[in-house]
Chain A
Amino acid sequence: MVVTSRQRFLETMRFGKPDRLPCMEWLGFWPETIDRWRNEGLPKYEIELFLGLDRFARVPFGVSSATNPLVPPFVDEFIREEGAFEIRRNQEGVIYRLFKGGTQTMMPQWLRYPISGREDFAEIRKRLNPDSVDRYPIDLQDFAQTIATRDYPIGVWAGSLFGWIRNWMGLEGISYALYDDLAFVEEMMEYITDFMEAILNKLLIQIGPVDFALFWEDMACKSGPLISPKHFRMLMVPRYERLTALLRRYGIDIILVDCDGDCEPLIDLWLEGGVTGIYPLEVAAGMDPVVLRKRYGKDLMMIGGIDKRALAKGRKEIEAEVIPKIEFLADAGGWIPSVDHLVPPDVPLKNYLYYLQLVREIGNRNRG
């Protein structure tokens, strides 16, 4: 019997018995990584095909990216040069400084955010219209038919309660606002929740059930969450409950949140809010999928947790990182191996191929 990528994904995440471990790179690759790999022999056709990865997709309508729900987005524009740098504005309205000709892996220096006070939210609100025609294709029914017979999993973006606001205000801005104008933060989160409910209802009624939903928060650093669990519980849990209840009404039972850093203190709260899993489990921040599986059992789905730094080293380091995790987690279920962020450009192609070889060898063992 042929097992499709979709069946394999669903069976794995639901702690069932897949034919083998899915082979996916959930967050993908930095463009610079692909550039490097082209010089190391990567053919010019689609990378996922060359690597033999299981396919997955995200619905490109409604909210079409994790980090930016604004339609229309701000104009991505050059503002001025400053020595070796250029000052630009991105599509989220943030003014930033980047090296001239800088690449995406180089995190820019954020200079000014679109929201510095209540009055600025009006401009953002104008770009958060769930009914904007630019958010959808001409005929959603066509799209529904296209994906109806899919053999790969497809998911929807479910929004971001903290991450988007942090992007619009900056970490310092939202931090101060939590104490200077808590009602404003709550008002923005409520607006986002209403907005996402409208988007998801509109989409899911027309395209039918999808396989997973993704929140994006990135609300932790190496030493822990960026806001207190107290604030999280008060502001975010009730709104997560609303959105996850809506997703469940449409049959979606794989609801994941993207959060870098050490977000472990927030896991219980996410679960309370109806989220079922997390990714990408940043190892440098202390996230360990083996520890989490032992702690949470089948209550927590996971994707990721493979240390990108090990892949940049050599075979011995890759084996030490990958083998114990796969041996334990493949049997425990509910986990898909993936690098703990986008694969960075210091990873040679041969190392990545060796990592995939291990995923296949160990992930296929005693299965199917």
Chain B
Amino acid sequence: MVNLQELQDAVISGNASKAKELTEQALKENVDPVVIVKEWLIPGMGIVGDKFKRNEIYVPEMLIAARAMYAALDVLRPILAQTDMEPVGKVVIGTVKGDLHDIGKNLVKMMLEGAGFEVIDLGIDVAPQKFVDAVKENKPNHVAMSALLTTTMPAMKETIEALKAAGLRDKVKVMIGGAPVTDKYANEIGADGYAPDASSAVDLAKRLLQ
């Protein structure tokens, strides 16, 4: 009989082939795919995030863990589509107007998905109006913005202003991050929170759901 703790351990240690194999085995044994995701894969990535925050692991270990999780999810997706499993929350994410940097944004997206969020990725150089349109269309819980440069940070404020002008500011929580961004800056521009790294972004996204 499949040992789901081994599956979680495979995700944490970044063993993608084992994660895939154990997931396939679990399905053959009729384990509920929702249980696999909610009770083993998501908590597994939570452990990965905690280890990252404690500097016990680093970006490579986080990446291989996520790769293992996606290997398991790829097996589960066709079956999950037939269930009524709801995401933990929905996040519209993007790098702000004028900024083409996407490494940090992609890591946040990956960890949010690992935590069970549905993530709508608008990509890079996202204009305020594009965030507004995505909020109207997808009705997310949160908008997450990234900026690498001091010169592109002001676009975060412009996006918040655009959400206000569209009457959407109170419909979403706004979270921001990026190399030059600080908690103080988040307060100055009226964002709901700032996260210094991908793992903390998951904590913030969960906290803002409450």
Q: What chain B residues lie within 8 Å of A227 (beta carbons)?
A: 58-60
Does A172 lie at the interface of the complex (its beta carbon under 8 Å from any beta carbon of B)? yes
B100 near A175: Cβ-Cβ < 8 Å = no
B182 near A176: Cβ-Cβ < 8 Å = no
Known contacts: A108-B100, A222-B179, A308-B150. The answer to whether A228 contacts B60 by CB under 8 A is yes
Q: Which chain B residues numbered 20 to 55 have a C-beta less than 8 Å away from chain A?
A: 52, 55
A228 near B124: Cβ-Cβ < 8 Å = no
Complex interface bits, A248-267 against B, C-beta within 8 A gives 1, otherwise 0: 00000000000001000100
Known contacts: A171-B103, A265-B55. The answer to whether A106 contacts B149 by CB under 8 A is yes
Q: What chain B residues lie within 8 Å of A141 (beta carbons)?
A: none
Q: Which chain A residues numbered 164 to 200 have a C-beta less than 8 Å away from chain B?
A: 171-172, 174-176, 178-179
Known contacts: A223-B196, A284-B182. The answer to whether A344 contacts B150 by CB under 8 A is yes
Q: What chain A residues lie within 8 Å of B63 (beta carbons)?
A: 172, 175-176
Task: Decide if the interface of chain A is mainly helix, strand, loop or mixed.
Answer: mixed
B197 near A228: Cβ-Cβ < 8 Å = no
A228 near B57: Cβ-Cβ < 8 Å = yes
Known contacts: A222-B179, A284-B180, A346-B151. The answer to whether A107 contacts B101 by CB under 8 A is yes
Q: What chain B residues lie within 8 Å of A221 (beta carbons)?
A: 59, 104, 179, 197
Most buried by A among B63, B179, B197: B179
Q: What chain A residues lie within 8 Å of B64 (beta carbons)?
A: 175-176, 179
Does A145 lie at the interface of the complex (its beta carbon under 8 Å from any beta carbon of B)? no
Known contacts: A176-B64, A178-B60. The answer to whether A99 contacts B180 by CB under 8 A is no
Q: What chain B residues lie within 8 Å of A308 (beta carbons)?
A: 150
Known contacts: A105-B149, A176-B60, A179-B64. The answer to whether A222 contacts B100 by CB under 8 A is no
**CB contact between A179 and one of B60, B179, B197 (< 8 Å): that residue:** B60
**CB contact between A97 and one of B52, B57, B58, B100 (< 8 Å): that residue:** B100
Min CB distance A276 to B, Å, is 25
Residue of A at shortest CB range from B56?
A: A228
Complex interface bits, A216-236 against B, C-beta within 8 A gives 1, otherwise 0: 000001111111100100000
Min CB distance B193 to A, Å, is 16
Residue of B at shortest CB range from A109?
A: B100
Does A292 lie at the interface of the complex (its beta carbon under 8 Å from any beta carbon of B)? no
Q: What chain B residues lie within 8 Å of A178 (beta carbons)?
A: 60
The docked-state distance in angstroms from the alpha carbon of A107 to that of B178 is 13
Known contacts: A106-B149, A109-B124. The answer to whether A285 contacts B179 by CB under 8 A is yes
Q: Which chain B residues numbered 49 to 108 have a C-beta less than 8 Å away from chain A?
A: 52, 55, 57-61, 63-64, 67, 98-104
Residue of B at shortest CB range from A108?
A: B100
The docked-state distance in angstroms from the alpha carbon of A108 to that of B57 is 28
A106 near B100: Cβ-Cβ < 8 Å = yes
Q: What chain A residues lie within 8 Å of B125 (beta carbons)?
A: 84, 99
B100 near A98: Cβ-Cβ < 8 Å = yes
Report the tally of A-B residue pairs with Cβ distances under 8 A: 79
Min CB distance B33 to A, Å, is 27
Does A345 lie at the interface of the complex (its beta carbon under 8 Å from any beta carbon of B)? yes
Most buried by B among A98, A105, A174, A221: A221
Interface residues on A, range: 35 or more
Min CB distance B131 to A, Å, is 17
Min CB distance B98 to A, Å, is 7
B179 near A228: Cβ-Cβ < 8 Å = no
Does B148 lie at the interface of the complex (its beta carbon under 8 Å from any beta carbon of A)? yes
Does B114 lie at the interface of the complex (its beta carbon under 8 Å from any beta carbon of A)? no
Q: What chain B residues lie within 8 Å of A97 (beta carbons)?
A: 100
Q: What chain A residues lie within 8 Å of B196 (beta carbons)?
A: 222-223
Min CB distance A266 to B, Å, is 11
The docked-state distance in angstroms from the alpha carbon of A253 to that of B125 is 45
The docked-state distance in angstroms from the alpha carbon of A75 to that of B76 is 45
A105 near B179: Cβ-Cβ < 8 Å = no
Residue of B at shortest CB range from A231?
A: B60
Q: Which chain A residues numbered 306 to 365 have a C-beta less than 8 Å away from chain B?
A: 308-309, 312, 344-346
Q: What chain B residues lie within 8 Å of A309 (beta carbons)?
A: 150, 180
Q: What chain A residues lie within 8 Å of B67 (beta carbons)?
A: 176
Min CB distance A230 to B, Å, is 9
Q: What chain B residues lie within 8 Å of A176 (beta carbons)?
A: 60, 63-64, 67
Residue of B at shortest CB range from A260?
A: B179
**CB contact between B98 and one of A106, A174, A228, A261 (< 8 Å): that residue:** A106
User: What are some 5 contacts across the A-B interface (CB < 8 A)?
Assistant: A107-B148, A221-B197, A223-B196, A226-B59, A228-B58
Additional 11 contacts, C-beta under 8 A, given A261-B179, A344-B149, A344-B150: A98-B100, A107-B99, A107-B149, A176-B60, A179-B14, A179-B64, A221-B179, A221-B197, A224-B55, A226-B60, A346-B151
